[in-house]
Structure 1
């Protein structure tokens, strides 16, 4: 029932707009907490954490508000349904923006963990010079990979004829106001590049996670005591929170994406399931922000303070109304 409803491009777009209305305030709250409520002892992580939050939030909003890509499988084709489409932004430009932001999320995740490793354990080592090469390399991949894909986009008249001839079931989604845009005509290199880049980022993230864990263990046992035990304990708790903040949203992305490849084989309404996975993925940044607020003590305290003020205000308004009515 639900899959049948969101199979329609228009219903799919409506659901995504609702998701955007719910998640946008969460993104703003997360950004506010990072910028203004990060403790002084953790100021070194503030900008790397905000960098990750920004790109994750933008990725969410691209999926749910600005672009709303309606993706048709098994071919690499689709069309936008979001605000940028109504602003007459070219579909090719939206493809580039979407791919670039998609890569900037894992790159910023790696940068955040690298920053933790550098600040805690490698400021006085040769890594303070080498790290810039890694950062430049990662951000270059993120910025130029989408450009390579866009340069490979085929002539649309030729591509549409071939794709529609072999996949007639997607013709029903070729709308007059949103014509199907073919990104690739059976070009496996796009998939290969995606898998290679993601594998590279996963390896980097794994390496920094292991390095932080090993050095933290040595420091906590007194072998490397350049940082006070109290500060180390605070950073250790912060890193645990970062691990959960990254791991759980990654599952929200990976599980639906893998399911979108496997499950449609057993479903007749596979387009509805693909749309469902896009809807789930479009909320991963908001989930990450909620986890961050919950796991970081200073952020959680600020939200409790805000909610407490709102509650007191509502109670105060209620008392005032009751007093007026009683005197009348």
Structure 2
């Protein structure tokens, strides 16, 4: 069917194909950086950071998996202002639901992994607290169970997709031509359920993260830290804590803009195809921002990458010096002009 959108809106920026090309290009660029991140964690984590090594690896693993899901395997594309979207891969509708659910689970686990980093610091700082040692395994289990069940209200409200598709079409002010042949996923027609479950997740997970961060900083800055740790150890712990806050905070703050636009577009019923593309493109850069933050913020990782670049530049200069373009030592035969 022909598009009901103005012809001037049919630009390259409004095309999902543009975003697909961008996503694949980002995957090619960022994947080597992710491998560098794995190498730094496994081989270049110093003894002073050994206690946080495996939680960093866990966090990085799920970040990379989310990045691959967003840029390679499923490539989700929203249809704001309706609470719906589609995947830029050719899949049957039920498989789209499954992949969409799994990708959301990976995002949720990344957030829980962030909280686990701060819980790890709190547990090590309070290693004499036997009560928390007993509770901690149940805390981890409870968080992962919460990841599985908090979406149940939305799953129970999944509407008939054919009817929901018609509702989405009536919601959008104009319908691009490609949507007529695209399988649209509508998790719920009740926006309040999606908003409530999202807010519940944010309060539970990020509430824990902020609580641990505040407790750790307070303990390191008060007499509690002075009694438990030497001055040098306290300084190292504070520096590590600040680095972890920056490492986890930058990617979270980076997502504030797309999340804010999504809520605004849904509440104001704004359909802007260019902005939808831009928001998804910005979100797809999350893996790049997260891994870059980790490498640049932690001094041992940053030093490793800087050393590689310096070594490479030195080798290039040495190779150029060993291969002169001109020489003054070449023997020149006598010649005569007849």
**Normalising by structure 1, what TM-score?**
0.87
Indicate yes or no: 2:200 matched with 1:196. Answer: yes
The reply to whether residue 288 of structure 1 matches residue 293 of structure 2 is no
The corresponding residue for 2:261 is: 259
**CA positional deviation for 1:18:** 1.9
8 A Cα contact 1:71 1:274, kept in partner: yes
- What RMSD, in angstroms, separates the aligned Cα atoms of the two structures? 3.0
Contact 1:16 1:279 in 2 (8 A): yes
The structure that has the greater radius of gyration is 2
The worse-fitting range, judged by mean Cα deviation, of 211-220 and 104-113 is 211-220
> For residues 173 and 183 of structure 1, do their structure 2 counterparts lie closer, same or farther at Cα, with a shift above 3 Å needed?
farther
Question: 1:57 deviation in Å?
Answer: 2.3
The reply to whether residue 154 of structure 1 matches residue 159 of structure 2 is yes
Give the Cα separation in 1 of the matches to 2:31 and 2:134.
38
For structure 2, the residue ranges without an aligned partner over 5 or more in a row are 1-7, 331-338
**Partner Cα distance (1:31, 1:254) in 2:** 26
Residues in 1 aligned to 2:322 and 2:10: alpha-carbon distance in whole angstroms = 48
Please give the alpha-carbon distance, in whole angstroms, between the structure 2 residues aligned to 1:147 and 1:234.
Answer: 43
SS at match of 1:181: coil
User: Do the aligned residues in 1 keep the contact of 2:81 with 2:267 (CA within 8 Å)?
Assistant: no
Aligned residues of 1:260 and 1:273 also touching (Cα < 8 A): no
TM superposition score normalised by structure 2: 0.85
Alignment deviations for residues 187-213 of structure 1 (CA, whole Å, 9 cap, x no partner): 521221111111111211111011101
Unaligned runs of 5+ in 1: none
Residue aligning to 1:38:
45
Q: Equivalents in 2 of 1:199, 1:60: separation in Å?
A: 24
Equivalences, count? 323
* More helix, by proportion: 1
Provide the C-alpha distance between the structure 2 equivalents of 1:131 and 1:190, rounded to a whole number of angstroms. Answer: 30
Partners in 1 of 2:327 and 2:147 — Cα distance? 63
Residue 13 of structure 1 and its aligned partner are, at CA, apart by 1.0
Residue correspondence of structure 1 range 78-93 to structure 2 within 5 A: 78-82=85-89, 85=90, 90-93=95-98
Show the 5 A alignment for 1:1-328: 4-82=11-89, 85=90, 90-146=95-151, 149-167=154-172, 169-170=174-175, 172-176=177-181, 178-218=182-222, 222=226, 224-225=227-228, 227-262=229-264, 270-322=272-324
Q: Is the 2:112–2:143 contact (alpha carbons within 8 Å) kept by the matching residues of 1?
A: yes
Moved more, 264-273 or 295-304: 264-273
Displacement of 1:238 in angstroms is 0.8
